[in-house]
Structure 1
Amino acid sequence: MSGKRNLRVLSAAVVLVVVLSCLSLLAGAEKDEKEVRVIVLFKDKVDKDLVKKHGGSIIDEYTIIPGLVSELTQDEINELRKSAKVKSVDEDSTAEIMGEVDEDGKGKPSPPPPATDWGVSRINADDVWEIPNTGSGVKVAVLDTGIDLDHKDLGTVYSGWDFINNDANADDDNGHGTHCAGIIGALDDGNGVSGVAPGVTLYAVKVLDSKGSGPYSVIIDGIEWAVSNDMQVISMSLSGTYNSAALEAACDNARAEGIVIVAAAGNSGNTRAQYPAAYSSVISVGATDSTDARAKFSSYGSTLDLMAPGVNILSTYPNDRYAGMSGTSMACPHVSGTVALVLYAHSGWNPDQVQTCLQKTAYDLDSIGWDKYTGYGLVDALAAVS
């Protein structure tokens, strides 16, 4: 009897091991079958049937590039990459804001004394207004967390589109976008602060959520919107570490359509490439402090183009407030605003002419000409328009 009982126990144990092994295999298979969101870029025309044939669903399709957004398993991705029609299948990575609120400057409830922030004065933008040139009517798309559409210190602001919530109300639920918008175009009306180009027309294009992050696929949507709506400048105070062929193609095509694209170089403080700033079709901007020194957090390297003020920058903040912020996020809109001034002065210029002008007229901060730490130097608005 004892032998039979032991045999039954042994048999049960064997069955248990087999069952657990099967469950483990099933769990592994389920893990392997997990779908991930990707951006598929084709060499020529979009082939939705090809993606569907490989098991993918179609989430979004672009017009600015021959690409679409899909969800596929890793095995399906590997198979799709083998197609002669496909240029790349990239993960839908995430970009984030490149600015933080200073500890002593968050959301001041009342306007500070009428002033021009040090950054605007340092790049001689206030001298350009005397020409007169305020960038009047130049259309700037701010791809960010949105803009406070009712802030009394911002001039003409239109709601472009909210690609995070998919609606027409691109209001700001973070604060970062409003701050960047103010650096570009806060009114020169004797109240609050003044932006680099107080006469610009700002368009809020929300591609980042309330936490300040957004997928590359949505940023491409924002770039596409800017092209479709005849923007002249795209300002992106955001950055990601993933090099996406689709995002690069979108930037390249937008520039080919005549849009000047400006982006934050990143806050890594080293030479690690940040995107979209690292693309050749984008003007990459690093940050300086009030002594013209490169900010310690400011990324540098072979793709850096220009420097601009980015430390303790006072600008607009939601609900008619103001805040001090630091980051290459703050440097980027100083250059975007300067681009608007240049385009007002030279309305027929293309992006290559604008960028060349900014580089040739920049104030050298390090070695003569370009260097990896400060690019071509500190942007100079007055020299650029003159």
Structure 2
Amino acid sequence: MINALQFLRQVVIISLLFVLVGCAPLTTSPDKNDTNVVGQRKVIALVPDAQATEGMRAAGLSGGYQLLDVTDLAGLDLTMLTFRMPDGITGPQAIAALEAAVPTSTVGINHAYRLQQSSSAAQELDYANAMMRWRTDGCRAQVPVGVIDTGIDTTSPALDGARIVTRAFFEGRAAPAAHGTDVASVLANPSRLKDVTIYGANVFGQQDALGLKAGADALVRALDWLAEEDVRFVNLALAGPYNKLLDLAVERSVDRGLILVAAVGNDGPNVDPLYPAGFDGVIAVTAVDADGRIYRNAVRGPHVDIAAPGVDILVPSGGSVRFVTGTSIATPLITARLAADPTLANARSVSDVRKRLAATSAELGRSGRDPVYGHGLALAEDICGD
């Protein structure tokens, strides 16, 4: 608990910062038309202990912020406080003031993350299993896996062989469950991965003119849940801008031994890395077609780790099938390959996973790791543990 002198110091610091930061450029602050933000007037703080929590409460109160929520993130050893910013205060001003008041905090705005998949009209053969050299009768899952996505339709016939535990991490109505169901169906296809338990974290309850979007706060909550459940591999078929709240949550998740597998994104070859795939501690997955050519919209860069089929992938849909394309649909193929591998069942280091993927991949680009294909095409040959 802070004493009266500490509280007074915080009030003075916040007041000075509001004056000083008011002269800074406002180009990074969210506004009502910013489609890359969920809840434009929200600012979120992650703090490490009870003293910092009380300090942040006091700092928010003295600055005129409305405290909307306090969440204990026991899986990440953090507490998350969500505030509504006062009118006239920008995102950068709020971040600077609150972090100065509580130096151990990480404060940020609620960036949006979007799914990385699109429908395809092409009618290619189901080539993914043969290309990755999966055993014809599939492999048994060695560990549970997590899926951070939309909801999952647990009644889908394609998921009959999987045990699915779901939980939602958003406010309001749920988004359609098609994308999460597609990802889970690719992951749990018994011709690839059998007897798998999936922890489905639904983070999509928002939609705008560009489609579905999930807030960074929802991703942080989902990672906390999966860390508490001790889920080993986590599939993230979504991408968005850098966010330091997510950065901290990813860092804590990796420290807890979670292996995060994320789509590099579909924004094209000439953009900066998207996140969470752009974080050092995350396995970044790109997509190729049946001929091993890179998906034309895949993000490229030195962070790319591995490639999997992701162009015109056959996905069960009700009583029929359809074909989808994107780095989203390549990602669960990598997650399934990792979950089937008994040599990775106890893996707690992303470097160990990278070494294993590098040793069991086929070159697609230049020799060694490259910014287009990473280590090349992931192979599932002779990895089954049963």
TM-score range, shorter chain: 0.7 to 0.9
Distance 1:378 1:60, change over 3 A: farther
How far has the Cα of 1:89 moved from its partner?
Answer: 2.4
Q: Determine the structure 2 residue equivalent to 1:351.
A: 349
Secondary structure of 1:125 counterpart: coil
- What is the CA deviation profile of residues 282-319 of structure 1, one whole-angstrom value per residue up to 9, with x for unaligned ones? 100011000001110111102111111110011133x4
Q: Determine the structure 2 residue equivalent to 1:15.
A: none
Bigger Rg over Cα = 1
1:118-133 paired onto structure 2 within 5 Å: 118-126=127-135, 129=138, 133=139
Deviates more, 1:37-46 or 1:370-379: 37-46
Give distance in 1, aligned partners of 2:107 and 2:282: 22
1:159 counterpart (165, 169, 191): 165
Distance 1:213 1:265, change over 3 A: same
Aligned-partner residue type, residue 98 of structure 1: Q
Q: Determine the structure 2 residue equivalent to 1:212.
A: 212
1:273-312 paired onto structure 2 within 5 Å: 273-312=273-312
Give yes or no for the alignment of 1:80 onto 2:80. no
1:183 counterpart (179, 182, 186): 186
How far has the Cα of 1:66 moved from its partner?
Answer: 4.6
Q: Determine the structure 2 residue equivalent to 1:145.
A: 150
Give distance in 2, aligned partners of 1:222 and 1:166: 16
Secondary structure of 2:224 counterpart: helix
Q: Determine the structure 1 residue equivalent to 2:71.
A: 61
Unaligned runs of 5+ in 2: 1-29, 32-38
Unaligned runs of 5+ in 1: 1-30, 106-111, 188-193
- What is the CA deviation profile of residues 146-197 of structure 1, one whole-angstrom value per residue up to 9, with x for unaligned ones? 1110111212232320123579xx8x7241111111111123xxxxxx4x31
Distance 1:321 1:37, change over 3 A: farther
Secondary structure of 1:311 counterpart: coil
2:45 counterpart (34, 40, 53): 40
- Would you say how many aligned residue pairs link Structure 1 and Structure 2? 330
How far has the Cα of 1:41 moved from its partner?
Answer: 3.2
Aligned-partner residue type, residue 169 of structure 2: F
How far has the Cα of 1:231 moved from its partner?
Answer: 1.1
CA RMSD across the alignment: 2.9
Give distance in 2, aligned partners of 1:124 and 1:85: 51
How far has the Cα of 1:84 moved from its partner?
Answer: 5.0
Identical aligned residues as a percent: 23
Give yes or no for the alignment of 1:341 onto 2:340. yes
How far has the Cα of 1:279 moved from its partner?
Answer: 0.5
Aligned-partner residue type, residue 156 of structure 2: H
Give distance in 1, aligned partners of 2:290 and 2:239: 24
Give distance in 1, aligned partners of 2:155 and 2:349: 31
Deviates more, 1:38-47 or 1:222-231: 38-47
Give distance in 1, aligned partners of 2:81 and 2:121: 41
Distance 1:35 1:122, change over 3 A: closer
Secondary structure of 2:42 counterpart: strand
Maintained 8 Å contact 2:339/2:345: no
TM-score, L = length of structure 1: 0.77
Maintained 8 Å contact 1:62/1:221: no
How far has the Cα of 1:126 moved from its partner?
Answer: 2.5
Q: Determine the structure 2 residue equivalent to 1:227.
A: 227
Maintained 8 Å contact 1:145/1:212: no
Q: Determine the structure 1 residue equivalent to 2:259.
A: 260
Ranges of 4+ aligned residues in structure 1 off by more than 6 Å: none
